[in-house]
């Protein structure tokens, strides 16, 4: 029997291995880590997350998710790396002395499992929901959030890779995330979502080229995070709004987090694996995890207000 604690990041884990690992952490570190589920996926998997906290109530919080898109495997492992560091490395406990941290490492488990099942499915991006009379499977979860939904960069064609869904929040995965974020009523100060690939640290808006009024703060915190991250192994990120740096696309989780949920700062991090596309080799798991953890510490500092 493998020890899930030592084996978890040696390769890209299956979804049930992620779940088992997080449950084993809860058992071994019950004083600081609790698992929770935000709901079920279309295929009835529990969407699991962890809360890392030193106790107390009413603390400001940092929220991180990953794996909204199935094929972006380096995203869940980077979230798991952060969980592992926070829970198993006591020298990191200062990070959550004064804040709570929520991490949901694989928001789209059905899609993630599908990409693992056989190599022909490796490039699947969407959820795995089906609908009567629809010729195609799945919705682009990052076009499915209810803020300026379907206004730009999204498709109404169920067979498109960027299909926005029949309605906003049609997917159980996105509506579960919505309900979780809203249930924390304004304690979450920063929302981060990990995608790949491309070395972009994106902030809203994705639906317009206009900038949010807090753009100076978004940029300032991103600059600090990028600077710290880059010191690890020279990885650089381009910073800016999704529309201006990448392309316009409405219905993304970060736009919704800032525009509707009222979270102060929201970012989409396009993790670096451009040498390999979506199929980063497993040798990248630890280096990307390490450098990204440096950025997470900066976001945590902002949440703490220092
Ligand atoms: N990229 C993001 C996508 O959903 C993005 C980029 C983020 C666009 C936020 C708009 C808003 O297309 C990947 N790699 O998924
Ligand atoms: Zn993505």
- ipTM attached to this prediction: 0.97
With 80 as the cut, is the pLDDT of residue 304 above it?
A: yes
Ligand 1 site, residue 204, Cβ cutoff 6 A: no
pLDDT tens-digit series, residues 108-134: 999 999 999 999 999 999 999 999 989
Cα–Cα nearest to 222, from 273, 271, 267: 267
Give the 3-state secondary structure of 211-246.
Answer: CCCCHHHHHHHHHHHHHHHHHHHCCCCEEEEHHHHC
pLDDT tens-digit series, residues 211-239: 999 999 999 999 999 999 999 999 999 99
Ligand nearest the Cα of residue 255 is 1
Task: Name beta bridge partners: 202.
Answer: 240, 268
With 90 as the cut, is the pLDDT of residue 1 above it?
A: no
Ligand nearest the Cα of residue 254 is 1
With 80 as the cut, is the pLDDT of residue 164 above it?
A: yes
Q: Give pTM, 2 decimals.
A: 0.98
Ligand 1 site, residue 33, Cβ cutoff 6 A: no
> Which residues sit with Cβ closer than 5 angstroms to ligand 2, an ion?
69, 72, 195
Hey, which of 76, 124, 142, 270 would you mutate to test ligand 1's pocket, going by the most ligand atoms within 8 Å of its Cβ?
A: 142
**CA of residue 142 to ligand 1 center, whole Å:** 7
Residue 243 CA, closest ligand 1 atom number: 10
Task: Name beta bridge partners: 66.
Answer: 194
Within 10 angstroms of residue 107's Cβ, the number of other Cβ atoms is: 31
Give the active site residue among 270, 284, 294, 304.
270
Ligand nearest the Cα of residue 108 is 2
Ligand 1 site, residue 164, Cβ cutoff 6 A: no
């Amino acid at each position: 029997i493998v020890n899930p604690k030592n084996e978890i990041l040696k390769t890209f884990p299956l979804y049930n291995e992620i779940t088992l690992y997080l449950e084993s952490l809860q058992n071994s570190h019950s004083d600081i880590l609790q698992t929770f589920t935000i709901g079920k996926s279309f295929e009835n998997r529990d969407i699991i997350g962890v809360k890392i906290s030193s106790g107390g109530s009413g603390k400001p919080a940092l929220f991180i998710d990953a794996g909204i898109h199935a094929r972006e495997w380096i995203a869940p492992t980077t979230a798991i790396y952060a969980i592992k560091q926070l829970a198993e490395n006591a020298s990191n406990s200062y990070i959550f002395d004064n804040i709570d941290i929520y991490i949901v490492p694989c928001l789209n488990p059905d899609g993630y499992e599908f990409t693992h099942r056989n190599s022909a499915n490796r490039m699947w991006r969407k959820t795995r929901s089906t609908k009567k009379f629809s010729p195609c499977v799945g919705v682009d979860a990052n076009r499915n959030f209810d803020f300026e939904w379907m206004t730009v960069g999204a498709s109404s064609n169920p067979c498109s890779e960027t299909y926005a869904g029949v309605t906003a929040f049609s997917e159980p995965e996105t509506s579960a995330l919505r309900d979780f974020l809203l249930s924390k009523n304004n304690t979450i100060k920063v929302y981060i979502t990990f995608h790949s690939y491309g070395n972009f640290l994106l902030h809203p808006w994705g639906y317009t080229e206009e900038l949010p009024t807090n753009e100076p703060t978004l940029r300032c915190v991103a600059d600090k995070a990028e600077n710290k991250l880059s010191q690890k192994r020279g990885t650089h990120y381009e910073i800016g709004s999704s529309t201006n740096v990448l392309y316009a696309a409405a219905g993304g989780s970060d736009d919704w987090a800032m525009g509707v949920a009222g979270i102060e700062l929201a970012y989409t991090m396009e993790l670096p694996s451009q040498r390999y596309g979506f199929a980063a080799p497993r040798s990248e798991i630890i280096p990307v995890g390490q450098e990204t953890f440096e950025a997470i510490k900066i976001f945590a500092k902002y949440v703490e207000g220092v």
